[in-house]
Amino acid sequence: MDKSNLGKRKKSIKFKLLILPLILVFIAIAGIGSISSNFMKNSLYNQMREDGFMLGDQIAKQMELASISLETINEMLGDKISAAGRSIITNQANVNNQVLKQTAVDLGVDEIHWYNNQGEILYSTIEEYVGWTPSAGHPVEQFMLGNKDILIEDIRKDSESDNFLKYGYIRHTDGTFVQVGILANTVENMSQRFSIQRFVEDLAENEDIVYALFMDKSLKTIAHNNKDEIGIVFDDIGSKTVVEEGTPYSQEWYYEEEGISVYDVIMPAFVKGELIGAVSMGFSMEKVNSIVNRNLMMIIAFGALFFVILGTIMFNLSNYVVRTLNKAKAQLNLIASGDLTGKISLEDLNKKDEFGEINNALQDMQTSLEEMLKNISDTSHQVASSSEELTAISQQSAIAAEEVARTIEEIAKGASEQAKDTEKGATHINELGGLIEKDQQYVKNLNNSTDEVNKLKDEGFQILKDLVEKNKLSNKAANEVHEIIININESSEKIESASQMIRNISEQTNLLALNAAIEAARAGEAGRGFAVVADEIRKLAEQSNGFTEEIATVIQELTSKTGDAVNTMNEVGKIVTYQTESVEATNTKFEGISDAIERMQQVIADINRSGKGMEAKKNEIIDIIQNLSGISEENAAGTEEASASVEEQTASMEEISNASEALSKLAEEMQNSITKFRY
């Protein structure tokens, strides 16, 4: 694996440890801010709507009460005027200015005027008015010319003064009639104060209300804080809904006259159960938007502070993790390069977390490798030494075979002189041939032993290869332990978060329970009204149960992952056991090599003994051949065959020597491989 890939992986680990959690926290803060702002905005809108409905309902009720009150006052004044007028009509014969004044005082009226059938005042409580006649179109003239016997006017301003009076007329059968007036300045002031226009103007003085208006059943504006808009007819759905169905309505819209957004609340107005119109109020949304924006800014500020604090903590934690992993990686790189001299610091070994366990496992693995390499080195030295001895013995056997060949040549030269003893020579030569066959068999055995040495050598290499594979598995298991540790940390964070939430809910539950108990004790039988508190306690208890289940789930997840970590460490233990067994098997194989070499030495010893037997027989042949002379030509062929056999034996000895040299080279190569490691 090249360094560039290692660099990429390092960045990836730091990204997972630092950037990803911060991104998730940022998303969570943004989500909470958005949800909180929307929730607060909706809550304020709902509160504005409820307050608007409540205020509109109060205004409508005040208008109804004012209307009924004014109507009642007018009826009372009308009844009073009627009573005074009937009293004057009844006492018509005695009517004069003084009688009218006294009657006015007795009945609590302010003016009484007696008109003839031509509309001229004959008698009056105000003597200056005697002889006064109404002008054309005057209310007095209208009654005089009308057909009604009784008429009660609305309050109006007196044509002869600045006072407001309420007049009433009663006609006598002879065409004369009496006019009774009651001073109504106070009533008029009340009418003005309780008028619909005054109501909407008072409403509009509230800084939160942009406009206020009253529309009749035809949707025509009859009162508005901006008098220029009186007379406007509405055709929107909200106004129609309120007037037609008599139900409240609210909507958000843009008020072009002021250039701002308002929350329009429309309430139906009833008088004695009859719908007379609707009150519409436009609430300014600037304060609501300001509160929402301020809340959003606070969330952003606190979120940014939390983000910075969490980022600092995560940065320090990720630096610690990456720094520790880099140290472990550097140690593994040294081991991979063959340098076993580097040691892990005591600080890293004494760490109480999982990284300390990993460092101790690396230290144990390095120690095991050192011991294994020392054993292999010692064994390879022994193999090299045995190979050199085998080579020397083979060379000596070849020299002996050459001497035998020279001896046979001498025998061939003296064959002509050993004719008489040819038969004995032939017999001894046959015996010599048997010995040579035995030597060949010994050589075969030596070849078999050499083959066994090669086989054991191959098996030793295979075992070393298995050892390398098991080391790879050990590294993989260590990586799995690392991943499991990360998951355990994440699960621990979940447990901490859930536990905090449970503590908060428990505190609220205890507080609500205490409040409910206190209020219930105070209220007695009325304590049933605290059902709302009990219901809140129940909801909080359900939430506590939900969070308890979440904690149980997280704990199960943590337990499962911890079990995985234990299993992984068990696998690492098995791998270490396999490594030990591989080393032991390697030792066993090399012991087999040693045994094979010993057998080769025994075979060579047998060859030596056979050589001595051949030497003795050779001497006997020489003694016999010295007596031979006539049959040397017949023995020539036999001696040539013996020479050929010796040459074959010499060639076999050379092959054994070459094989021994090859084994020595292999042992030397093994030594060179081991010297690459420093320990």
- Report the chain's terminal Cα–Cα distance, integer Å: 24
Q: In terms of Cα–Cα distance, which of 617, 674, 108, 571 is closest to 404?
A: 617
Long-range contacts of 606-613 (CB under 8 A, 24+ apart): 606/438, 606/442, 607/397, 607/439, 607/442, 607/443, 608/397, 610/435, 610/438, 610/439, 610/442, 611/397, 611/400, 611/404, 611/439, 613/435
Looking at the fold, whether 450 and 523 belong to one and the same domain comes out as yes
d(CA 126, CA 204) in angstroms, rounded, equals 44
The torsion angle over the Cα atoms of residues 291, 294, 300 and 305, rounded to 10 degrees, is -130
In whole angstroms, what is the distance from residue 334 CA to residue 327 CA? 11
pLDDT of residue 32: 80
Q: Divide the 679 residues of the chain into consecutive groups of 10 and give the mean pLDDT of each group.
A: 48 67 79 76 72 72 70 81 88 89 89 92 91 90 90 79 84 91 74 70 78 88 85 87 86 77 85 84 77 79 82 78 76 74 74 77 77 75 71 71 70 61 65 66 68 69 67 66 65 65 67 68 65 64 65 67 65 66 67 68 67 66 61 64 70 73 74 65
Burial class (CB in 10 A: 0-12, 13-18, 19+), 404: buried
170 and 247 share one domain: no
DSSP 219: S
pLDDT score for 333: 81
Alpha-helical segments (H) within 524-631 = 531-627
Helix axis angle, 632-675 to 354-413, nearest 10°: 160
Task: Look at residue 167 and tell me if it is in a domain.
Answer: yes
Half-sphere exposure of 123 (CA within 13 A, CB side): 21
Same domain, 550 and 427: yes
Domain that holds residue 546: 354-675
Grouping H, G, I as helix, E, B as strand and the rest as coil, residue 230 is: coil
Of 647, 642, 650, 653, which Cα lies nearest the Cα of 617?
642
Q: What is the pLDDT of residue 4?
A: 46
User: Could you give the number of structural domains in the chain?
Assistant: 3
Residue 131 maps to which CATH number?
A: 3.30.450.20
**Shared domain check, 667 and 554:** yes
Which pLDDT does position 130 carry in this prediction?
Answer: 92
Q: Three-state SS for 264? A: strand
3-state secondary structure (DSSP) of residue 614: helix
- Assess whether 181 and 222 both reside in one domain: no
pTM of this prediction? 0.37
Distance CA 456, CA 589 (A): 6
Question: What local confidence, expressed as pLDDT, does residue 7 receive?
Answer: 46
- Co-location of 381 and 444 in the same domain: yes
540 and 590 housed in the same domain:
yes
382 and 266 within one domain: no
The answer on 243 and 102 residing in a single domain is no
158 lies in the same domain as 233: no
Same domain, 645 and 555: yes
451 and 581 share one domain: yes
Instruction: Judge contact between 411 and 631, C-beta under 8 A.
Output: no
